Amino acid sequence: MDKVTAGDFRIIEEPQKPLAMEPRKFGMWLFMGSVLMLFAALTSAYIVREAEGNWVYFEMPGLFTISTVVILVSSITMQWAYWSAKKDNLENVKIMVTLTAVLGISFLVLQWQGWVQLVANKIYFVGNPSGSFLYVLTGVHGLHIISAIVFLLIVMVATYRYKVHSKSLVSIEMCTTYWHFLGGLWLYLFVFLLLYR
């Protein structure tokens, strides 16, 4: 057997660090995945039910277009808040988080007023499936927006207590991700409902 000297050993491959994610972020991504699957199932059911016939076609409330603009603007203000937190511009974080919360509540009010328009046009939750699906899709999304506003209010309180800054970004980063996700989800639903109304 050959003699092996210490100089004969060399590292073939550097050990790799295991993939790791902050547990709260991981939980949020799992939650968003399940929400995505829920809406994929609902929109698939919508398409299948529409193909069966007995479907009433109607105009989408004009307020849904305005609420779409509001949610897109709120995504900009939320991102601005996050960037400001990274730069320790804490006064700007307070303003942008507060503005995002106001825009989120405005979105919900506009959605509610859109439902009022639907009822005025005799499109009810009970009756034709086309109306039922519209109320379910927008209502379930609205519930998720409420959860995002609650999250945002928690971040807002932390912001006013100066607990959100460049060395403590997890909460505002998670809130920003969730807010963008719900904004993107509404954009998908809005386009979907315009194409399949």
- Does pLDDT of 65 surpass 60? yes
- List the one residue out of 2, 187, 166 whose CA is nearest residue 83: 166
Long-range CB contact pairs, 25-33, < 8 A, 24+: 25/170, 25/173, 25/174, 25/177, 28/174, 28/177, 28/178, 32/177, 32/178, 32/181
Report the C-alpha gap between 157 and 95 in whole angstroms: 12
Mean pLDDT, to the nearest integer, of 37-57?
91
Prediction pTM value: 0.86
What's the distance, Cα to Cα, between the start and end of the chain in Å?
A: 80
1-43 pLDDT, tens per residue? 455 555 555 555 665 665 667 888 889 999 999 999 999 999 9
pLDDT confidence tier of residue 182, bands split at 50, 70 and 90: very high
113-155 pLDDT, tens per residue? 999 999 998 888 888 888 899 999 999 999 999 999 999 999 9
- Does pLDDT of 92 surpass 80? yes
**For the chain, which residues make up each domain, given as ranges?**
23-195
DSSP 8-state class, residue 54? -
Report the C-alpha gap between 32 and 171 in whole angstroms: 16
Question: What percent of the chain has a predicted confidence (pLDDT) above 90?
Answer: 69
Q: Which residue has the tokens 């779409």?
A: 68
**Choices 1.10.1380.10, 1.10.10.10, 1.10.150.530, 1.20.120.80: CATH for 23-195:** 1.20.120.80
Helix (H, G, I), strand (E, B) or coil at 72: helix
- Does pLDDT of 106 surpass 90? yes
